[in-house]
């Protein structure tokens, strides 16, 4: 993989990777930016969300789950002092559908976390990541199921 980043003035940069799609990055006006693009750390969290989301929805579709809506939220805590790295994160999977199998969702989350998502695999080596889910089952009268995937620790 290769990316290229071009300075557009002030703190504005535009970059693209092998896919050719561009992404604009900027900082707040208070530090010299124009507030016209995402922050680099937001893109890291967004990449984490996108990586695991693609895994999970693909697996759920293969398991023929009836998904109406699917959202992934990442809440990342950062250190208070520079370099202000992520110190922990919570990934929340919100699945809305009809008769969604909780075991199928847990398996999809587990496969993403333990096998398929390189972003999660890489970042989990730097800080702890909790994985939680919520299922809103429209087939069960709006029943809500919530839980957490607890990764098994290596011996």
pLDDT over 90 at 152, yes or no: no
pLDDT over 60 at 132, yes or no: yes
pLDDT over 70 at 111, yes or no: yes
pLDDT over 50 at 154, yes or no: no
| Averaged pLDDT score across all residues of the chain | 95
User: The tokens of 103 are what?
Assistant: 């075991």
Mean pLDDT (whole number) for 31-42: 97
Query: Whole-angstrom Cα distance, residue 75 to residue 84?
Result: 15
Reported pTM: 0.93
Domain 40-149 has CATH 3.30.300.20: yes
Question: Which is more confidently placed, 154 or 68?
Answer: 68
HEC states along 24-81? EECCCHHHCCCCCCECHHHHHHHHHHHHHHHHHHHHHHHCCCEEEEEEEEEEEEECCC
pLDDT over 60 at 22, yes or no: yes
User: The tokens of 37 are what?
Assistant: 């693009």
Domain positions in the chain: 1-38, 40-149
């Amino acid at each position: 993989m290769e990316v290229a980043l071009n300075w557009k003035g002030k703190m504005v940069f535009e970059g693209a990777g092998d896919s050719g799609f561009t992404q604009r990055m900027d900082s707040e006006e208070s530090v010299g930016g124009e507030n016209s693009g995402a922050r680099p750390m937001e893109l890291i969290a967004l990449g984490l969300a996108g990586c695991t989301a693609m895994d999970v929805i693909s697996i759920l579709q293969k398991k023929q789950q009836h998904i109406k809506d699917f959202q992934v939220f990442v809440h990342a805590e950062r250190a208070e002092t520079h370099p202000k790295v992520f110190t922990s994160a919570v990934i929340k999977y919100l699945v809305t559908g009809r008769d969604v199998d909780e075991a199928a969702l847990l398996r999809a989350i587990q496969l993403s976390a333990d096998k398929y998502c390189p972003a999660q695999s890489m970042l989990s080596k730097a800080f702890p990541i909790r994985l939680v889910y919520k299922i809103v089952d429209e087939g069960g009268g709006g029943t809500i199921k919530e839980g957490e995937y607890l990764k098994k620790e290596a011996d």
